[in-house]
Structure 1
Amino acid sequence: MSNDEKKLNGVQDKTRRTFIRNSGLTVGGLIVGGAVGSLFGTKTSSKTEPASAPVQEMAANPNEALMFFNQNQYQITAAAAERIFPKDEIGPGAKDLNVAIYIDHQLASPWGVNAKDYMMGPFKAPDEKQGGQLRILRKDLFLLGLKGLDEYSNKKFKKKFSELEAKEQDEVLMDFESGKAGKLSGVSTTAFFKMLRTLTIEGAYADPMYGGNKDMQGWKMRKYPGAQMGYTKEIQSDKFVEMTPHSLHDHMGH
C-alpha cells in the first residue's frame, strides 16, 4: 500500500469515528451493537477473512439500547420492576416487557430533568392534593433510589439488591414504600418508590415506540387494541370485539 493510500484510509477512519460519536451511536463510549457494520459495511480481505464472513446487524428494535443507565443501574431497575409487575399465569412480567428500557428512556428525556416544571424557590411544604413538589430532578432522585436499594439490601441482607431472593427484594421494596428505609439525601424513600411504581406500570402499558410493552404483550393481556385508525364498525357491535393491537409506529409514514 502506498503512503497516499495509507493517508486516505486514516482520514476515512477518523471521519467515521467522528460521525459515530456525533450521531449518538455510542453508549458510555462503546459502539452500540452492529451499528458500525450496518452504517459502513465490514472491511474484509480475501487474505485474512473468508468472503462469507457474517456481518453483524443492528438489533431488530433499536429502542432497546440504553440511553441513561449503566449496566448495574439497569439490572437493579429491572429486578425492582419485576417485583412490582411480576410474571405470572396471566402473562409476562416487567423484564419480558422491557419496562427497565422504558424507564431508562424516560429518565434520558426532558422529563428526567423536569424540563417543563418550575423548579425555583421558595419551597414550602405542599398539601397532599398538590402532587409532587420535590426540589430534586427526577433523574437524580431515581439514581439516589437505586443506590439506596443496594445500600439498604447490603445492610439488611449483606447482598446487592439484584442478588436477593424475590421475598427479600419484596421486603426491601416494602420498607422503601413505607419510608422505613429512611432518607435518600434528605428525600424520603417513599417518593422514590412511588416514581418507580408509576414508571413500571407505564412501561408495561405504554406504546412500544417508547421502549416498553415489548411486542405489545402488555396490551394483549388486556385485549387493548392500541393505536387503531378508527372504530367506526366496532362501536356498533353489542359484543366485545377483540382486535389485533397496533403501535403508533405501525402508522408512521401512512
Structure 2
Amino acid sequence: MSEQDQHSQQNENREATKTKESQRMSRRKFLTRSGYAVGGVVLGGLLGYLIPKEETKPATPPAPQQQQKNYNEALMFFTQEQYAITQAAVERIFPADDNGPGAKDLGVAFFIDHQLAGDWGFNARDYMQPPFYVGEKTQGYQGRINRREIFYIGLRELQNYSQKKYKKDFPSLSPEEQDAVLTAFQNDEVNVTTISASGFFNLLRSSTLEGVYSDPLYGGNKNMQGWAMRDYPGNQMTYTNIIEKDYTVVPPQSLRDHL
C-alpha cells in the first residue's frame, strides 16, 4: 500500500471513530431524558449510576410565616362607630398604667360586643315582664329595655353630649375631656330619655371590669394579662401539687389550656 493510501485509510478510521462517539453521546442524552420522563424509580434508578445527572436549581426558601390572626377579634353587634366610642370609654375607665395594659389592649370592647350579641344582650335569663316599678338602688335594674338597647341609647347620647359640649366626637376628645363626659353621666348630669345616664355608666363600668378579668375565651383579658396584674391563677384544674407549700405565684391558665 502506498503512503498516500495509508494516509487516506487513517482519515477514514478517524471519521468512523467520531461517528460512533457521536452516536453514543446522542443515545446517552436520550436515555437520560427518557429516565426522567418515564420515572426515576424504574428507569432512572437503574441507569442513574451510569448516566450523569443534570444540575438542579436550589430549592426556593419558604416564605416567612405571617403573624397568626386572632379571629376572636371581630365585631358581632357594634357598628364601627359604636365600637370606637366603646373602646375610648372603657380605656378611660380602666386605663393603661405602670401596672400593665388598659382595657383597649386587653380587648374589652370586643368582650362587650360579643356579650351583647348573645343571651346577655337580650336579658335572656332575666325576668322582663310587667309591671315595672322604680326599684331601690340595691335591687339593680328594673326596666323593660334590654342591655342591647341600653348600650345603643347610651353610646348615642355619649356621642351627642360630646358634640354638643366640645364640638367633637367622643373618641376624638382629649383624655381629660372624656373623663369629664363620663363623670357627667355617672352623676346624672346629662338628660337622657328612656334610660338614666348613671344607669348606663354603671353598666358600662361593670362590663369593663368583667372584660378585664373574664376568661380570654370570651374576648377580653387578652393573653391573660388582666389576671397576671393581680397574680390571679385563672382556671386551674387542681392545686394539689402546691397546696402544702408556701405561697407562690401560679402562672394563670385559661379554659383553653385544658383541652
Are the aligned partners of 2:233 and 2:252 in contact in 1 as well (CA < 8 Å)? yes
State the partner residue of 1:229: 237
1:227, CA displacement in angstroms?
0.9
C-alpha distance in 2 between matches for 1:188 and 1:211:
28
- Is 1:112 the equivalent of 2:112? no
C-alpha distance in 2 between matches for 1:191 and 1:155:
21
State the partner residue of 1:81: 90
The SS at the match of 2:164 is: helix
- Is 1:63 the equivalent of 2:72? yes
- Is 1:189 the equivalent of 2:197? yes
1:116, CA displacement in angstroms?
1.1
State the partner residue of 1:141: 150
State the partner residue of 2:248: 241
State the partner residue of 2:138: 129
C-alpha distance in 2 between matches for 1:58 and 1:108:
28
1:198, CA displacement in angstroms?
0.3
Give deviations 1:18-64, integer Å, cap 9, x for gaps: xxxxxxxxxxxxxxxxxxxxxxxxxxxxxxxxxx9x8x989532211
Which is worse superposed, 126-135 or 66-75? Answer: 126-135
State the partner residue of 2:165: 156
The SS at the match of 2:76 is: coil
Are the aligned partners of 2:133 and 2:143 in contact in 1 as well (CA < 8 Å)? no
Query: What letter matches 1:205 in structure 2?
Result: Y
Ranges in structure 2 where 5+ consecutive residues have no aligned partner = 1-60
Distance 1:90 1:107, change over 3 A: same
The SS at the match of 2:81 is: helix
C-alpha distance in 2 between matches for 1:85 and 1:139:
22
Query: What letter matches 1:217 in structure 2?
Result: Q
1:228, CA displacement in angstroms?
1.0
The normalised TM-score by structure 2 is 0.73
Q: Which has the larger radius of gyration?
A: 2
C-alpha distance in 2 between matches for 1:129 and 1:95:
30
1:251 paired residue among 245, 253, 258: 258
State the partner residue of 2:110: 101
Percent identity over paired residues = 53
Consecutive aligned runs of 4 or more in structure 1 exceeding 2 Å deviation: 56-61
Distance 1:107 1:59, change over 3 A: farther
Give deviations 1:94-132, integer Å, cap 9, x for gaps: 000000000000100111001111211111121222222
C-alpha distance in 2 between matches for 1:213 and 1:154:
31
C-alpha distance in 1 between matches for 2:244 and 2:258:
24
Distance 1:182 1:220, change over 3 A: same
1:147, CA displacement in angstroms?
0.5
Ranges in structure 1 where 5+ consecutive residues have no aligned partner = 1-51
C-alpha distance in 1 between matches for 2:247 and 2:69:
33
Distance 1:59 1:190, change over 3 A: farther
Distance 1:112 1:229, change over 3 A: same
- The residue correspondences of 1:163-178 to structure 2 (distance < 5 A) are 163-178=172-187
State the partner residue of 1:209: 217
Which is worse superposed, 59-68 or 81-90? Answer: 59-68
C-alpha distance in 1 between matches for 2:69 and 2:258:
18
Query: What letter matches 1:69 in structure 2?
Result: F
